[in-house]
């Protein structure tokens, strides 16, 4: 079955620690995205990647970093510089950049930082 996997489903970290969230897709999609969702709010774009070895900042990139070394993988690191990291993180992909292809989402990772 083709799809997007995110791991882990739940993640707990102490304040001051960096943490990396995994996102893998086997849809052969060029474009990948990371969003953050907070209760009662819409999804906000953190980073996106048009193609392998390329990525761009979204609307709320401060305190986050990404890499895109393989087409299938787009991991997100939440650094200690992110002031309010507790949230639900969603990874998505779409077939190509620059089109109106729909984005498909993974199941999400809920990060709690205490």
Judged by the rule CB under 8 A, the positions of this chain that interact with other proteins are 4, 6, 31, 33, 40-45, 48, 50, 58, 90, 92, 94, 97-108, 110
Closest approach of other proteins to the CB of residue 15, in Å: 24
Closest approach of other proteins to the CB of residue 10, in Å: 10
Closest approach of other proteins to the CB of residue 42, in Å: 4
- Report the C-alpha dihedral over residues 50, 77, 74, 107, rounded to 10 degrees: -110
Nearer to other proteins, 60 or 80 (CB): 60
Nearer to other proteins, 46 or 78 (CB): 46
What is the distance in angstroms between the CA of the first residue and the CA of the last residue of the chain? 36
Where are the strands (E) in 1-114, listed by range? 4-7, 10-13, 19-25, 31-37, 44-49, 56-57, 64-66, 76-78, 87-94, 104-105, 109-113
């Amino acid at each position: 079955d083709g799809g997007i996997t995110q791991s882990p489903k739940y993640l707990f970290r102490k304040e001051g620690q960096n943490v990396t969230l995994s996102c893998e897709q086997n849809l052969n999609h060029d474009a990948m995205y990371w969003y953050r969702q907070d209760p009662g709010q819409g999804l906000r774009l953190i980073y996106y990647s048009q193609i392998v070895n390329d990525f761009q900042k979204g609307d709320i990139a401060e305190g986050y970093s990404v890499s895109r070394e393989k087409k299938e993988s787009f991991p997100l690191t939440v650094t200690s510089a992110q002031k309010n990291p507790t949230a639900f993180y969603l990874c998505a992909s779409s077939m190509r950049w620059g089109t109106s292809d729909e984005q498909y989402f993974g199941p999400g990772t809920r990060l709690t930082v205490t």
